[in-house]
């Protein structure tokens, strides 16, 4: 038996899609952004619970919170306390006429410091007016010692431009006229930069490099440096000309000059050519016969050829005796150092055949001293 059920009026579904309920779940991106904060909060709760359940740990943490500020204050007090104050100052690397002034300025600045609070900047500022000081470095020694290493830029030449003169360091820094002295050799230029500035010009910088590499015993006997027919030339106060050619290997050339002067066969030379340091040569004026080196003992020559500081000092002392020929006297030719006239017949023959050419070269070199050595 079939039954039909009629739809109840008012219970029919409304036409159209049913609205969706809002989801209570958050999006995955929002959960990812909050995950680190949730983990940190959980870790903080765990740590707090762990500490609160342990009495000794609470006491230790409380003591640390109180002690840390106290220790910080104590450290600040100790850095400036008399227990670590600088009392003994050792200064190294200071030379020249301004040595006492530099040492006094550094010592005064250092005595206001402690070995736990050393300031290189304060030391550098103390000697800033003294251009001879390039840099300073402080090394504390607990509890009261301080060693200060000074790097200097000493004057090596007097730059002359017209009537103006100023001291110049080997690296080209102008040090000012206050550091001039009668022992400084002369170099020429076109302009005089202000103190603290650098000079320009390849020839001038090459001359300063060579003068800066000169051993101290030789340096006081140098009269001037200039560019002539043989390139860079150094004139000694006794009239000897030294041909360097350029600024390459300056120390090797100075030592080569020392070996030539130590050889008895170079006595009376008017110039020494060290453009090739391994093959130096000495030239002699007209009418001067090179001495016979074979007459000297082998042991004596071996001792003289030793280019130690004492030997260089002895040779430089000999330069002040005027034993060499005048620079204006025409040389007769070049003879390799260490060879006697009998061993170098060609060199002796050159003295009679090529004297005119060498005389012209020497005259050109002497005349070129009046020209600036820099070109800038």
**45 conformational bin, left if phi > 0, alpha if psi -120 to 50, beta if neither:** alpha
The whole-chain average pLDDT of the chain stands at 76
Full residue range of the structural domain in which residue 318 is found: 200-370
Q: What is the pTM of this model?
A: 0.61
Most confident of 69-73, 207-211, 282-286: 207-211
Domain membership of residue 59 (yes or no) is no
Tell me the pLDDT tens digit for each residue of 79-110.
Answer: 888 889 999 999 999 987 788 999 999 999 99
CATH number of 130's domain: 3.10.20
C-alpha span between 163 and 358 (Å, rounded): 33
At residue 17, the 3 state secondary structure works out as: coil
Pure H helices in the chain: 28-52, 55-79, 99-110, 120-126, 202-212, 216-219, 250-262, 298-304, 309-319, 345-353, 355-367
Domain membership of residue 157 (yes or no) is no
C-alpha span between 228 and 215 (Å, rounded): 23
**Residues 117 and 246 occupy one common structural domain:** no
In angstroms and rounded to an integer, the radius of gyration of the C-alpha atoms of the chain is 41
Read off the pLDDT band of 353 (50, 70, 90).
very low
What is the number of structural domains in the chain?
2
Beta-bridge partners for 335: 282
Of 226, 237, 375, nearest to 317 (Cα)?
237
Residue 46 has pLDDT above 90, yes or no: no
**Residues 282 and 352 occupy one common structural domain:** yes
**Residues 102 and 227 occupy one common structural domain:** no
Of 251, 225, 221, 247, nearest to 236 (Cα)?
221
**Residues 220 and 144 occupy one common structural domain:** no
Q: Which two tokens stand for residue 320?
A: 């002040």
Q: Are strands 155-161 and 174-176 parallel, antiparallel or unpaired?
A: unpaired
Domain membership of residue 274 (yes or no) is yes
Residues of the chain with pLDDT > 90: what percent?
Answer: 42
Q: Who wins on pLDDT, 172 or 364?
A: 172
**Residues 221 and 304 occupy one common structural domain:** yes
């Amino acid at each position: 038996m079939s039954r039909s059920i009629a739809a109840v009026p008012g219970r029919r579904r409304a036409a159209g899609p049913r609205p969706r309920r809002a989801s209570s779940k958050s999006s995955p991106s929002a959960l990812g952004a909050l995950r680190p904060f949730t983990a940190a909060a959980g870790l903080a709760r765990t740590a707090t619970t762990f500490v609160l359940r342990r009495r000794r740990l609470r006491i230790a943490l409380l003591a640390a919170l109180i002690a840390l500020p106290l220790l910080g204050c104590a450290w600040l007090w100790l850095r400036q306390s008399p227990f670590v104050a600088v009392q003994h100052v050792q200064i190294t690397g200071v030379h020249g006429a301004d040595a006492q002034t530099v040492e006094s300025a550094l010592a005064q600045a250092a005595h206001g410091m402690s070995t736990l609070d050393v300031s290189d900047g304060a030391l550098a500022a103390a000697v800033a007016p003294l251009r001879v000081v390039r840099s300073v470095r402080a090394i504390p020694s607990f509890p009261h010692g301080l060693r200060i290493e000074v790097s200097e830029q000493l004057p090596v030449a007097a730059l002359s431009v017209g009537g103006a003169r100023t001291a110049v360091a080997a690296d080209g820094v102008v040090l000012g006229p206050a550091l001039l002295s009668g022992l400084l050799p002369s170099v020429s230029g076109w302009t005089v930069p202000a103190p603290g500035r650098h000079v320009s010009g390849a020839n001038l910088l090459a001359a300063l490099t060579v003068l800066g590499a000169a051993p101290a015993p030789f340096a006081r006997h140098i009269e001037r440096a200039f560019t002539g027919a043989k390139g860079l030339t150094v004139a000694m106060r006794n009239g000897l000309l030294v041909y360097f050619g350029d600024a390459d290997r300056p120390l090797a050339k100075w030592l080569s000059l020392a070996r030539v002067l130590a050889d008895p066969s170079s006595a009376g030379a008017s110039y020494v050519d060290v453009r090739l340091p391994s093959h130096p040569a000495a030239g002699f004026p007209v009418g001067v016969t090179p001495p016979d080196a074979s007459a000297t003992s082998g042991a004596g020559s071996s001792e003289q050829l030793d280019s130690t500081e004492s030997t260089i000092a002895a040779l430089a002392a000999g330069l002040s005796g005027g034993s060499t020929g005048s620079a204006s006297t025409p040389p007769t030719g070049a003879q390799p150092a260490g060879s006697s006239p009998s061993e170098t017949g060609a060199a002796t023959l050159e003295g009679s055949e090529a004297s005119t050419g060498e005389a012209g070269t020497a005259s050109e070199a002497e005349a070129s001293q009046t020209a600036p050595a820099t070109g800038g």
